[in-house]
């Protein structure tokens, strides 16, 4: 499942991120690449242990905790600290798949990458090209969202960023390990939860059908969740 999540960050938060990023030092984006990705990747990145990356990463993580749509869709167990990249004219990221396991340097923290996230920090009018293209069994899907919006997609997917031809594409990117490993099961839970919320808005949370469906949701989650 590929899902767009609007308004993860406010306009004020995006402006703050851009201010911090504009004043920070950048390095070659291959600092965090695997062998395959390094052959396809041409961009710049904030050092993952830099004060700027840590400050902005905390801001993003705090915002995600306030997003019911993100929680429902991702069912996050562990989130890798957000990273930040930029693409200028001529820079791109060819087709690749994300590493199955991500580990923090000099820390006892690693995750299985179930879901990948791109949080856009530049508006579509600020650059040409730079679309995120995600491939699945139903074809290719393109994402180029407003600043502050995020796209969530399975880390098993082949994906790429098309060449930027004008301006600068700025984004945060990171991965998470979900409580539910299987994307199909996670999608079913998300669809069920979405329908329960819609029904509850129409009938109220005490409606017997809403209560029964909520019980089914939690029993399915209990059966499928890792802890």
Given a contact cutoff of 8 angstroms between Cβ atoms, the answer to whether 190 and 218 are in contact is: no
d(CA 177, CA 193): 19
Q: Is 159 annotated as a binding residue?
A: yes
Query: Contact 87/113 with Cβ under 8 angstroms?
Result: no
Q: Where are the beta strands (DSSP E) in 82-199?
A: 83-87, 92-96, 101-103, 110-112, 115-120, 127-129, 132-136, 139-143, 150-154, 159-161, 164-167, 169-178
User: Per the annotation, does 96 bind a ligand?
Assistant: yes
Residue 28 marked as a ligand binder? no
Asked if residues 59 and 17 have their Cβ atoms less than 8 Å apart, the reply is: yes
H/E stretch holding 28 reads strand 27-28
Separation between Cα atoms, residue 57 and residue 132, nearest integer Å? 21
C-alpha 11/C-alpha 15 separation (Å) is 6
Tokens of 130: 């730079």
Confirm or deny that 205 is annotated as ligand binding: no
Which residues are documented as binding site for 2-oxoglutarate? 169
Annotated binding site for Fe cation: 96, 98, 159
Residue ranges of the binding site: 96, 98, 159, 169
């Amino acid at each position: 499942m590929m899902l767009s999540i609007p308004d993860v960050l406010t306009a004020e938060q995006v402006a703050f991120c851009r201010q911090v990023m504009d004043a920070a030092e950048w390095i070659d984006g291959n600092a965090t690449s695997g062998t395959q990705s390094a052959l396809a990747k041409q961009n710049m990145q904030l050092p993952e242990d830099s004060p700027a990356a840590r400050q902005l990463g905390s801001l993003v993580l705090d915002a995600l905790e306030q997003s019911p749509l993100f929680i429902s869709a991702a069912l996050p167990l562990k989130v890798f600290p957000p990273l930040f990249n930029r693409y200028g004219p001529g820079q791109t990221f060819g087709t690749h798949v994300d590493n199955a396991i991500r580990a923090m340097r000099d820390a006892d923290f690693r995750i299985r990458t179930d879901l990948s996230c791109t949080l856009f920090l530049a508006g579509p009018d600020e650059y040409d090209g730079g679309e995120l293209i995600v491939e699945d069994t139903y074809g290719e899907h393109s994402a180029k969202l407003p600043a502050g919006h995020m796209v969530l997609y399975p880390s098993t997917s082949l994906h790429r960023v098309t060449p930027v031809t004008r301006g600068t594409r700025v984004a945060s990117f990171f991965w998470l390990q979900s409580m539910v490993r299987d994307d199909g099961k996670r999608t079913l839970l998300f669809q069920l939860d979405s329908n329960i919320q819609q029904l509850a808005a129409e009938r109220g949370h005490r409606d017997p059908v809403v209560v029964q469906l909520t019980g089914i949701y939690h029993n399915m989650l209990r059966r499928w969740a890792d802890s």
